[in-house]
Amino acid sequence: MLPHTQLQLLQLQPLSPHSLAFSFPTKRLRSRNFTISTTKTCSFSVGLYNRSLNYGNSIRNSVSGGANEVEQQKPNQQVVKRPYPFHEIEPKWQRFWEENRTFRTPDDDIDTSKPKYYVLDMFPYPSGAGLHVGHPLGYTATDILARYKRMQGYNVLHPMGWDAFGLPAEQYAIETGTHPKITTVRNINRFRSQLKSLGFSYDWDREISTIEPDYYKWTQWIFLQLLKRGLAYQAEVPVNWCPALGTVLANEEVVDGVSERGGHPVPMRQWMLKITAYADRLLQDLDDIDWPESVEEYIDLASRKSDLERTELQKEKTGVFTGCYAKNPANGEAIPIWVADYVLGSYGTGAIMAVPAHDSRDYDFALKYDVPVRWVVMPNYKSINESGKAFSGEGTIVNSSNTTVGLDINGLSSKDAALKVIEWAEITGNGKRKVNYKLRDWLFARQRYWGEPIPVIFLDGTGETVPLNETDLPLTLPELDDFTPTGTGEPPLSKAVSWVKTTDALSGRPATRETNTMPQWAGSCWYYLRFMDPNNSKELVDKTKERYWSPVDVYVGGAEHAVLHLLYARFWHKVLYDIGVVSTKEPFQCVINQGIILGEVQYMACRDQDGNLISADSVDMLGEHNLEKVPEEKVMKSGDSFVLKDNPDIRLIARAHKMSKSRGNVVNPDDVVSEYGADSLRLYEMFMGPLRDSKTWSTSGIEGVHRFLGRTWRLIVGSPLADGTFKDGTVSVDEEPSLEQLRSLHKCIAKVTEEIEGTRFNTGISAMMEFLNVAYKWDKHPKSIVEAFVLLLAPYAPHMAEELWSRLGHTKSLANEPFPKANPAYLKDSTVVLPVQINGKTRGTIQVEETCTEEDAFELACRDEKLSKFLHGNSVKKRIYVPGKILNVVLDRKNAKVGVQ
């Protein structure tokens, strides 16, 4: 119960159901977590978030900068103390926010005359592992935006919920025999407590979960609308069947043609959603939204690939010649017709014309079966050579002229030639222009238990599909004890016989329920709408509320969801737009993909087969080698490389990997919060680098921002007392700030505001650090300056900011206090460098205010060390002063001292 604490327990006795008492020798011990002073008996209460220890003398936390070893406390030795009492103030303000519902967004009584700001995190899946430090990166960014906009007077919608259906929970249920709802709810509770411990300003009154019938009732309702409009249909299609998982996998769940556990394509009757019907609009409407560049890069890359390249089912291509030929209308030649297994029937509008020289798959097939290969595209940058590879890039057309049919495209670029051929085909009647999207209909069914039931039945005997009445929704999942795959292709729901067998409400005929369930994508396609109106039992979302809150202003999440989730959500949204449920064509106005936080850098040394250390730059030449991990304390940087401290000739391999259990590099945010506090974790994750970039975790880095928060605390509250505690209140003074102080503050305000607006949070933190360095040089700190700085800090480190605000004499939370605004008058650089001439010759410069008078400028010149030797003891004949430009002092030469120069 008390890890890392060396105590010799002599007695243990219960005090209450939630308390214990124990005795130990009268020694003073210091641990990583706290220090125990001489006493005989103590008690402590066990709580969900915090431990409180109360007994005779004192217990002090010993965290300071991260170096807190366990040691025996000597008499009169000073206890190592925290830089600031985050262990007290963070739970205190989290309780305050929850009890006062500080971040609740009004539902029915919202003031719609105010501007709105809807900021959303991508729906998290609550896994059993809980959060790691990579998760709060995006959550902290959205929380800063939410707090900032709230302080600017916006109505802010900042909710959180759970994408809780899915295969991982079902697999765990199969392996352990535990119902997936039990593990899912447990995981949700863990995620929620972790998020609350980080101080995120979510409106928890709007919390939703896809596994709740009140929620998936409307997921089923949307499916029925798709079915009514012919956008949901059943088809016999080749699917990725995985026997090990007992389910069909979507293409995104398949790697190299099989699932991770093994699988193969088989034909099955499946539910499909006709997303292809919206292909034009999905493409065109991208112009109206703020899309991340890295998504754009993927689209550009994907657009250059054929459907075949992206969905290769087998590496070894086979085929058979049919004995038939087709006439090429462009040149009259007979082309052999082959049947091949690597060509998809869904690709193109008819027969597929192979181009062996310019498609890698066609080229491999042609070589294997001795099909003629003709080069028709010449690379622009080199001549065709015997490389043994196809050329699929852009180039200049060759071998492509037939005057008989009036087609000559030799010498044209690939793009221009394609347009000319299309034009020729339409004129001659040999073909017509058609846009072919590299998009296929959405495979929607899964052979799983843990998913939304599909609300249709099939009449016995005829198999006719009958949708449920909307008034019968939700169709809830039956309780099952056996979730294992049937092994026959039948879903686990087929085992719920009494649930499967039903009656058609309209005809009274016996019927069978659909036993496939929806994919995990279904519930996450529309959750952003439910957050607008989470308790509505009559409709998916109230139209008035939807019109006010739509669209989502900023949507933040990982790039791994940038294509599929957003594509599916945009498809559903457009259908809902068409039927009048939503008022906008697009659901998300701005999408931001945060980068990945990698584990700490790992250093590896190389050894040859004889066990000798070798430098990493020699590895390729020496062939086989072994790697071994090197502790960080044995490593030093040398130029751009890392080497062994005791042998700098040995260069090491330094790599950072994505956090994973298998690599053992996962950092638990609970541990970080325990040692450094939630505000330090939040601040560090924003300070690591640009939000959209991948970053490497570093413990020394978080110690740096922890020190910054400690300095902030001491600047405002003062130094700690002898026992490590801090006095109440602050050391700020009720005095008017100086011009210098106002300028420093307003420059900081301007920079922090600009960087939050641009989601450049790291540079915003840098601006606050620079201000703090300047403020430490002041003798006094006016309360008005301190208050403004605390408000600047609030979105980043809300717990400390709330505590400081309270200590400054305020009785309400600062959550809705106005965010400081920079005064342009203090942003101008009002000092200038003024050249000073003596008898027309420039002898130096002085720094003066733009409004500086002639007398003040002359006085400053006389005090200047370099200029004073020319002016001291000499009489001045006249002064020529141009404000902000020059000061020329003309000396009386008759009375001038000789040799002063």
Q: Is the distance from CB of 822 to CB of 745 less than 8 angstroms? A: no
Of the listed ranges 15-24, 196-205, 401-410, 627-636, the least confidently predicted one is 15-24
What gap in Å lies between CA 264 and CA 249, rounded to an integer? 10
What gap in Å lies between CA 30 and CA 62, rounded to an integer? 7
**What is the CATH superfamily name and number for domain 707-826?**
Isoleucyl-tRNA Synthetase; Domain 1 (1.10.730.10)
Q: pLDDT of 6-27, one tens digit each?
A: 333 333 333 333 333 333 333 3
Name the fold adopted by 313-428.
Isoleucyl-tRNA Synthetase; domain 2 (3.90.740)
State the average pLDDT over residues 69-88: 62
Q: What is the pTM of this model?
A: 0.76
pLDDT at 311: 45
pLDDT at 488: 73
* Strands annotated E in 545-617: 554-558, 591-594, 597-598, 602-607, 613-614
Residue 302 has pLDDT above 70, yes or no: no
Residue type, 12: L
pLDDT at 897: 54
What gap in Å lies between CA 292 and CA 566, rounded to an integer? 12
Residue type, 73: Q
Cis bond upstream, residue 455 (ω within 30): no
Residues of 414-448 as b/e, b for ≥16 C-beta within 10 angstroms? Answer: beebeeebeebbeeeeeeeeeeeeeebbbbbbbbb
Residue type, 38: T
Residue 309 has pLDDT above 90, yes or no: no
What gap in Å lies between CA 606 and CA 652, rounded to an integer? 7
Show the tokens assigned to 107. 């539902």
**Tokens 């193969």 found at:** 264
Of the listed ranges 138-142, 299-303, 660-664, the least confidently predicted one is 299-303
What gap in Å lies between CA 435 and CA 634, rounded to an integer? 61
Residue 170 has pLDDT above 70, yes or no: yes
Q: Is the distance from CB of 197 to CB of 94 less than 8 angstroms? A: yes
What gap in Å lies between CA 788 and CA 745, rounded to an integer? 8
CATH 3.40.50.620 positions along the chain are 117-208+531-594, 219-308+440-521
3-state secondary structure of 875: coil
Residue 878 has pLDDT above 80, yes or no: yes
Q: Which CATH architecture has domain 219-308+440-521?
A: 3-Layer(aba) Sandwich (3.40)
3-state secondary structure of 528: helix
Residue 821 has pLDDT above 50, yes or no: yes
What gap in Å lies between CA 146 and CA 138, rounded to an integer? 12
Q: Give the number of C-alpha atoms closer than 13 A to the C-alpha of residue 445, restricted to the C-beta side.
A: 27
| Residue 458 main-chain phi, psi, to 5 deg | -120, 125
Residue type, 668: N
Q: Which residues contact 418 (CB under 8 A, 6 or more apart)?
A: none
Q: Which residues contact 149 (CB under 8 A, 6 or more apart)?
A: 117, 119, 156
Name the fold adopted by 831-891.
Ubiquitin-like (UB roll) (3.10.20)
pLDDT at 171: 86
For 725-776, what is the HEC assignment?
A: CCCCCCCCECCCCCHHHHHHHHHHHHHHHHHHHCCCHHHHHHHHHHHHHHHC
Give the residue among 838, 832, 850, 846 at the shortest CA–CA distance from 888.
838
> What residues does 442 pair with on adjacent strands?
273
State the average pLDDT over residues 155-180: 91
State the average pLDDT over residues 851-880: 89
Q: Share the mean pLDDT of the chain.
A: 83
Compute the CA torsion angle 247, 252, 258, 263 (nearest 10 deg): 10
- Sequence-ordered alpha helix ranges (H) in 688-735: 699-717
CA distances for 811 relative to 603, 787, 820, 894, angstroms: 51, 14, 19, 72
Give the residue among 657, 603, 656 at the shortest CA–CA distance from 631.
603
> What residues does 55 pair with on adjacent strands?
42
Q: pLDDT of 539-584, one tens digit each?
A: 999 999 999 999 999 999 988 776 789 999 999 999 999 999 999 9
Residues of 862-874 as b/e, b for ≥16 C-beta within 10 angstroms? Answer: eebeebeebbeeb
DSSP 821: -
Mean pLDDT highest for which of 39-48, 633-642, 766-775? 766-775
pLDDT at 37: 37
State the average pLDDT over residues 814-842: 91
Show the tokens assigned to 854. 């002639």
Give the residue among 288, 212, 252, 208 at the shortest CA–CA distance from 573.
288
3-state secondary structure of 19: strand
State the average pLDDT over residues 417-436: 88
Of 352 and 622, the structure prediction assigns the larger pLDDT to 352
What gap in Å lies between CA 856 and CA 882, rounded to an integer? 13
Cis bond upstream, residue 474 (ω within 30): yes
State the average pLDDT over residues 129-133: 84
Give the residue among 493, 494, 511 at the shortest CA–CA distance from 502.
511
What gap in Å lies between CA 273 and CA 406, rounded to an integer? 44
pLDDT at 71: 34
pLDDT at 240: 66
* Strands annotated E in 448-584: 456-459, 465-467, 501-503, 510-513, 554-558
pLDDT at 694: 87
Q: pLDDT of 762-811, one tens digit each?
A: 999 999 999 999 999 999 999 999 999 999 999 999 999 999 999 999 99
CATH 1.10.730.10 positions along the chain are 707-826
Mean pLDDT highest for which of 232-236, 367-371, 710-714? 710-714
What gap in Å lies between CA 536 and CA 543, rounded to an integer? 11
Q: Is the distance from CB of 788 to CB of 749 less than 8 angstroms? A: yes
**What is the CATH superfamily name and number for domain 117-208+531-594?**
HUPs (3.40.50.620)
Query: How open is the CA angle 267-347-412, to the nearest 5 degrees?
Result: 165
CATH 3.90.740.10 positions along the chain are 313-428
Show the tokens assigned to 580. 């009048």
* Bridge-based pairing state of the strands 116-121 and 155-157: parallel
Q: Which residues contact 505 (CB under 8 A, 6 or more apart)?
A: 469, 472
Residue 320 has pLDDT above 70, yes or no: yes
Is 559 exposed, middle or buried (CB count within 10 Å of its CB: 0-12, 13-18, 19+)? middle
What gap in Å lies between CA 141 and CA 691, rounded to an integer? 8
Of 685 and 825, the structure prediction assigns the larger pLDDT to 685
Q: What Rg value do the Cα atoms of the chain yield, rounded?
A: 36
Q: Is the distance from CB of 616 to CB of 651 less than 8 angstroms? A: yes
pLDDT at 69: 31
Q: Is the distance from CB of 35 to CB of 17 less than 8 angstroms? A: no
DSSP 275: G
Show the tokens assigned to 349. 């509008």
CA distances for 227 relative to 230, 307, 465, 507, angstroms: 5, 27, 10, 20
Is 478 exposed, middle or buried (CB count within 10 Å of its CB: 0-12, 13-18, 19+)? middle
Q: Which residues contact 336 (CB under 8 A, 6 or more apart)?
A: 321, 324, 325, 371
What gap in Å lies between CA 801 and CA 793, rounded to an integer? 6
pLDDT at 67: 31
Show the tokens assigned to 274. 């006709």
CA distances for 495 relative to 210, 463, 498, angstroms: 23, 19, 9
State the average pLDDT over residues 429-453: 87
Give the residue among 264, 266, 274, 246 at the shortest CA–CA distance from 515.
246
CATH 3.10.20.590 positions along the chain are 831-891
pLDDT at 447: 86
What gap in Å lies between CA 198 and CA 540, rounded to an integer? 31
